[in-house]
Amino acid sequence: MLKRKRFLFAVMAIIPTFAIFGWVRMYPIVETLRLSVFQWNLLSRDKTFVGLSNFIELFGDDQFLDALTNTAIIAFGAMAVTIPVSMALAGVIYHRTRSRFAGFYETAVFIPHVVSLVPAAMAWKWIFDAKLGPLNAVIVALGGEAQAWLFDPVLSVVCIILLVSWQTLGYAVLIYLVGFRNLPKSVYEAAKLDGANGIQSFFFMSVPLLKPITLYVSVVTLISGFNVYAQAYVLASDTQGAPGRLVRVLVLDMLENSFQNFRVGYAAAEAVILLSIVLVLTAVQFGMLRQKGGK
């Protein structure tokens, strides 16, 4: 009887949490899945069932394919930049833990993660400015040629990768620092006795031992990379000065289709594809994580 009461109490206690989670998290996902097979203009009460035609149209839509390609390049590019740089930075900061500047190093690296995205992107827009930006000034001073960072089709994507990486770096460094602090000291001491230097210890011990952390950081970076939006939007927007080249990314394309083109079903189909990509990649990464854990 008591057991049953306890069970009922536990169920009653957890129901509000489940209800909120269901309403805030699950319902929008289910609704998006449902809308993806309808044609709906947001304003009308009528929703026409169109089956998979939104998905079929998407794969013949140059703008969507362009957005998908750009988003994938940005997500994987940001991951490729973030992981080695954050691991190296965390290694250096960990090595300098006893320094009185250790706190400053950690804070300095983490600040970009907490800075509001739009002002940060505006600052980067100035840095990348072809005519007035300090980046080109430095390149020219070093004898190089000024680049149209925000206008060239390739360089404009590189700019977004740099901006996304700059923002995610702080969080990744913190996670890696936790990883470094939990590595067994005895292994390093044994390696030192065997004559390994710092760089050898880093590449042959720290990197393999930090694989679970690396997998976690890669999941987080990849997901945030696939959700890139504000960076592309801000770097391209400036109606009265020098608007940059618009790098079309998935979230931007979805917003445009939803609230400017009024094709909510079509945008929902894009969202379903984005969700599927993120889920598959996350499953692959966690699968690899489990494999490593099993070994």
Partner 1 sequence: MTFRGRNGTVAKATMWSAGLMLAGTLSAQAQDVVIWGGFPELADFYERVAEGMSDEYPDLNVIVEPIGLRDHEKRVALGLSSGLDDATVLELIGSTANRYIVNDLLPPAPDDIAEFVNDAGNFEPFFRDTATVDGTVYGVPLFRGQGALFYNTDMLAEAGLDGPPTTMEEYDDYAAKLTQRDADGNPTVSGWSLRLSGGGGGIAEKFWINMHQFGGALLEPVGDKYRAAYANEAGLAALRQYVNAVSGDKTVTIDMPADAAAFQRGQTAMFIRESWVIGDTEKKAPELNYDTALLPRGSIALPVNLYVSGGSDAAQDAAWAFAIEANKPEHLIWLLDNVGWLPNRAGVDYSGVIEAKPQFSAFVDLPEDYDLFTLPSIEPINEILTRFAAVLTEAFADPSLAGDDAAMMALLESAEEETNAILDRAGILAE
Under the binding rule (CB under 8 A), the answer on residue 240 touching partner 1 is yes
Site residues for partner 1, 28-47, by CB under 8 A, read: 41-44
Task: With contacts defined by CB under 8 A, name the span among 110-118, 194-202, 203-211, 242-250 that binds partner 1.
Answer: 242-250
- Nearest CA among 230, 221, 231, 228 for reference residue 281: 221
Q: Which stretch binds partner 1 (CB under 8 A): 100-108, 112-120, 218-226, 253-261?
A: 253-261
Provide, rounded to whole angstroms, the least separation between the CB of residue 27 and partner 1: 15
Tell me the C-alpha distance between 172 and 218, whole Å.
9
**Using rule CB under 8 A, residue 125 touches partner 1:** no
DSSP per position, 232-288: HHHHH--TTS--------HHHHHHHHHHTS--HHHHHHHHHHHHHHHHHHHHHHHHH
Minimum CB separation of residue 154 from partner 1 in Å reads: 12
Is 131 a residue that touches partner 1 (CB under 8 A)? yes
Range 256-295, binding partner 1 (CB under 8 A):
256, 258-263
Residue 105 or 128: the one with the smaller Cβ distance to partner 1 is: 128
Tell me, by CB under 8 A, how many residues bind partner 1. 33
d(CA 165, CA 253): 22
Could you say which of 16, 51, 143, 241 contacts partner 1 (CB under 8 A)?
A: 241
- Find the angle CA(120)-CA(125)-CA(130) to the nearest 5 degrees: 160
- Minimum Å gap between C-beta 260 and partner 1 is 5
Nearer to partner 1, 44 or 200 (CB): 44
Q: Compute the chain's Rg from CA coordinates.
A: 24
How remote is the C-alpha of 210 from its chain's centroid?
20
Binding segment for partner 1 among 79-87, 158-166, 205-213, 254-262 (CB under 8 A)? 254-262
69 scored as a contact of partner 1 (CB under 8 A): no
Neighbours of 226 (CB within 10 A): 22
Q: What's the start-to-end Cα distance of the chain, in Å?
A: 44
Check: CB of residue 212 under 8 Å from CB of residue 286.
Answer: no
- Judged by CB under 8 A, the chain residues 148 through 177 that form the site for partner 1 are 148, 150-151, 153
| 237 contacts partner 1 (rule: CB under 8 A) | yes
Q: Quick one: DSSP state of residue 205? A: I
Nearer to partner 1 by Cβ, of 4 and 131: the residue is 131
Decide whether 131 or 295 has the Cβ nearer to partner 1: 131
Residue in the structure block whose two tokens are 């990649």: 281
Euclidean distance between CA atoms 23 and 171, whole angstroms = 29
Residues at the site binding partner 1, with contacts judged by CB under 8 A: 41-44, 63, 130-131, 148, 150-151, 153, 233, 236-246, 248, 252, 255-256, 258-263
